[in-house]
A and B are shown apart, each in its own frame.
Chain A
């Protein structure tokens, strides 16, 4: 009997890991190409972090502001990303987003409407025009439900509450994946000609975050362990407005749509402080700027009672607020006893998004490992040093589709792989190790301490000393993680799951910290107190991290020169 026959084995042309917007869009495209598609997700289908996306989906449809077009969207995205973006991705994104939105509508999504019956678009930070297609403040839910229902009808195999712990390779290309069913704890292997990583972000390594339990950097860590390159990992976005009070809700997102709909930020003295930091764009400045501004106000003693700023939309009619921001209204009323139609919310920065991720080819989403693709937040490149609000949902659709196409095309031209029994045995041993120890540390305690390290030392403002200290502490945590112990059985055991998540979080945290230490300048979301200036030389290169001979290795890659016609767009103003 071969090792693979020990477990349930599933075989697909294309295996998609993650069932958020990017994973589902990739699955639909691979299905449309005739591939046999499997989708694996840690939670139930339809619960992925995409449901939390609130404000909207950026696409230059020009339904509201007729002057909008892909060139302006491209320019806004590049400027928001401080020109560190992969320009080809930014171009494809701006050009293709409107079609991806229309497609969603044709699959049954119901966006808010203009007076003339078109999709309504709202203003958002860093976007020159009103550009965000939206459904109140629950755009992500609309998107995921639309994709999910279409996928179910088209017929993909969904493996819900199934966690992948290792990618399998033949030393060159990917051959499959190893994981377990959370419900039973039983192992499962997947044989696949190509794999799309669409596992989302990494926010759970920070204490104050808008991210759900799932955002533990699994896909980046899996890809890194399989030999793929990670790009721009120093760029972690702190969303300016998370809830700050009461403690249990700290970090939960307060949509940028509040500011898009006219919300005003004030400090405890009632000053509209954005006049000082970005007098032109005010509250609708880019997220990096607004987050730093709030942080600075608080640090200099002008914060709200619970260490944030006041965000006020109560000058708008109550009915309008309830219609355009229904979930914000309920969230504050029920969780914080605040009626946002009558008074201000208290908000502060919360770890929200990582611009960096798996380094991919712009056209196909393929990583440096043949057959391994990535899309969405798990992939890097599109957003550069800072992401504009609304560009994530459009990213999921544009590059989810492209990765699905790429993965299906790759699957067509390769032979079915065979799995390596030794790798599977190794994967099995790794996953079970925490059960074998008669004593050891609780994974929850390690997670708690990891969040302290990242929150305090790799936060909004960084210094050489803090980052070096973070690396020392991450090493200590890695040692402690080797001695983790899990209690209970293999049946739906969250402690056991966390022991795997911790390995992934440590990997991506280390990558972030190394990259943050190496980039000795401030740019976008990466702010160094010891290197406050944005340096031209740093604007011409990205940082890449790869595992070499078992060790994390960091190198610089020069930016590819932009074609003249794109460079021209950047010099134009509106």
Chain B
């Protein structure tokens, strides 16, 4: 089959440049296969993260022809080969080396989210229709492509104030768990800054697990924040009787 040129970012946090590699494309080949072939034959120190090669672990996130993608799911035959295929690291995170970025910030955000806490004396019975919507959120493979594409993080770098779509999805999974007894709404507003999201749905578009991040997680959570903090009736009640009575 035909040859393709991959234009791969090589470098580290300080400096770097794209380098062209020629790869012969075989049937069904994905971008990650092409990267592996470069590693094996041309650049053994080319840094890339990957684990499962089956879109289940979310390790091989990168920007292919400018789009945040999992390399293991991006077929070479879906890309034009008359021009170089560009493969760059995720832009929203600092580069460590080549295609590997420092995603440790995500692990720090995750720590802020109080885990599942069953309501006291709960019966361990749940029904599929109640579980369905939470299972959608739990499909997340933490590829962080939603974080990469989110303009609040990507363009405005508000990592101090904002948790990002991944952690709204995680929080939604906890808040909507049929047996959970905690309230994470103040945390969502204050620590994860959900108000900064202006629902452009970029995260939903890049999600390889096809989670409806905006519609099913973020918007319902925003509604809960509004109910708790901005509902006019509640605000009046709170003013008159004090916060404890609301």
Give every chain A residue within 8 A of B53 (Cβ-Cβ). 212, 249, 252
Given A183, A334, A492, A493, which contacts B75 in the complex, CB threshold below 8 Å? Answer: A334
Is A113 interfacial (CB-CB < 8 Å)? yes
Contact A107 B110 (CB under 8 A): no
Interface contact B39-A493, CB-CB below 8 Å: no
Judge if B228 is at the interface, Cβ distance under 8 Å.
no
Question: Which of chain A's residues has its CB closest to B74's CB?
Answer: A334
Which residues of the partner chain A approach B114 to less than 8 Å between Cβ atoms? Answer: 153
Binds B, one of A186-194, A263-271, A412-420, A482-490: A482-490
Q: Which residues of A contact B47 (CB under 8 A)?
A: 491-494
Instruction: For residue A497, give the distance in angstroms from its CB to the closest CB of chain B.
Output: 10
Flag whether B100 is at the interface (Cβ < 8 A).
yes
* Cβ of A135 to closest chain B Cβ, rounded Å: 7
The answer on a CB contact under 8 Å between B39 and A44 is: no
Q: In the complex, are the beta carbons of A495 and B39 less than 8 A apart?
A: yes
Contact of A253 among B29, B40, B48, B54 (CB under 8 A): B54
Question: Would A492 and B100 count as touching, CB distance under 8 A?
Answer: yes
B96 and A183: CB pair below 8 A?
yes
Q: Residues of B contacting A494 with CB < 8 Å?
A: 39, 44-48
B124–A145 CB distance below 8 A: no
Chain A residues lying within 8 Å of B174, measured Cβ to Cβ, are 108
Report how many residues on chain A are interfacial, defined by Cβ distance under 8 Å.
Answer: 66
Encoded as 1 (CB less than 8 Å from any B CB) or 0, chain A from 38 to 68 comes to: 0000011111110110000000000000000
Tell me the nearest residue of chain A to B130, going by C-beta: A113
A248, B26: Cβ atoms under 8 Å? Answer: yes
B49→A51 contact, CB < 8 A: no
Give the one of B98, B111, B126 with max A CB within 10 A: B126
Q: A108-B116, A444-B44, A494-B44 are in contact. Are A335 and B28 (CB under 8 A)?
A: yes
**CB-CB contacts below 8 Å: B63-99 with A:** 73, 75, 96-98
**Residue interface mask A244-279, B partner, CB < 8 A = 1:** 011111001100000000000000000000000000
What's the least CB distance linking B78 to chain A, in Å? 9
Q: Are B52 and A487 in contact (CB under 8 A)?
A: no
User: Does any Cβ of A come within 8 Å of B33's Cβ?
Assistant: yes
Are A113 and B49 touching (Cβ within 8 A)?
no
Q: What residues of B have a CB within 8 angstroms of the CB of A563 in the complex?
A: none
**A491 neighbours in B (Cβ, 8 Å):** 12, 47, 96-97
A327 contacts the other chain (Cβ, under 8 Å)? yes
Shortest distance in angstroms between B212's beta carbon and chain A's nearest beta carbon? 14
Q: Are B59 and A47 in contact (CB under 8 A)?
A: yes
B159 to chain A, nearest CB (A): 18
A443 CB to nearest chain B CB (Å) = 7
Cα of A136 to Cα of B128 in the assembled complex, Å: 12
Q: Given the complex of chains A and B, what is the CA–CA distance between A493 and B45 in angstroms?
A: 5
List of B residues within 8 angstroms of A135 by Cβ: 135, 138
**Which chain B residues lie closer than 8 Å to A138 at the CB level?**
56, 139
A contact residues around B52 at 8 Å (CB)? 49, 51-52, 212
Give the residue name and chain of the B residue nearest to A43 (CB).
Answer: B51
In the complex, whether A149 has a CB less than 8 A from a CB of chain B is yes
CB-defined contacts of B73 to chain A, threshold 8 Å: 334-335
Q: Is the CB–CB distance between B27 and A448 below 8 Å?
A: no
**B59 touching A43, Cβ below 8 Å:** yes
Complex Cα distance A492/B95, Å? Answer: 11
B residues less than 8 Å from A252 (CB atoms): 53-54
A92: Cβ under 8 A from any B Cβ = no
B19 CB-CB contact with A under 8 Å: no
Q: Which residue of A lies closest to B72 (CB)?
A: A335
User: Measured between C-beta atoms, what is the minimum distance from A143 to chain B in Å?
Assistant: 11
* Chain A residue with Cβ nearest B78: A334
CB–CB B126/A331 < 8 A: no
B115 touches A150 (CB 8 A): yes
If the complex has contacts A138-B139, A443-B44, A491-B97, are A248 and B56 also in contact, measured as CB distance less than 8 A?
no
Q: Is the CB of B115 within 8 A of A44?
A: no
Least CB distance, A63 to chain B, in whole angstroms: 11
A554 within 8 A of B: no
Task: Decide if B97 touches A213 in the complex (CB within 8 Å).
Answer: no
B107 within 8 A of A: yes
A425 within 8 A of B: no
A113 and B131 contacting across the interface, CB-CB below 8 Å: yes
Q: Tell whether B50 is near chain A: CB-to-CB under 8 Å.
A: yes
The CA-CA distance from A108 to B115 in the complex, in Å, is 8
**B219: CB under 8 A from chain A?**
no
Let me know if A102 is at the binding interface, CB within 8 A: yes
* A567 within 8 A of partner (CB): no
A-chain residues with CB within 8 Å of residue B26 when the two chains form the complex: 246-248
Q: Which residue of B lies closest to A107 (CB)?
A: B116
Task: Tell me the nearest residue of chain B to A154, going by C-beta.
Answer: B115
A45→B27 contact, CB < 8 A: no
Seed contacts A44-B59, A448-B40, A495-B45; 10 additional CB < 8 Å A-B pairs: A110-B126, A138-B56, A142-B138, A149-B115, A160-B104, A335-B73, A486-B44, A492-B98, A492-B100, A494-B45
Q: Please, could you name 9 A-B residue pairs with CB atoms under 8 Å apart, sorted by A?
A: A51-B57, A152-B107, A152-B111, A183-B100, A212-B57, A246-B28, A327-B54, A330-B55, A335-B73
Q: B residues near A, CB below 8 A?
A: 12, 26-30, 33, 39-41, 44-59, 73, 75, 96-98, 100, 103-104, 107, 110-111, 114-116, 118, 124-128, 131, 134-135, 138-139, 141-142, 174, 177, 180
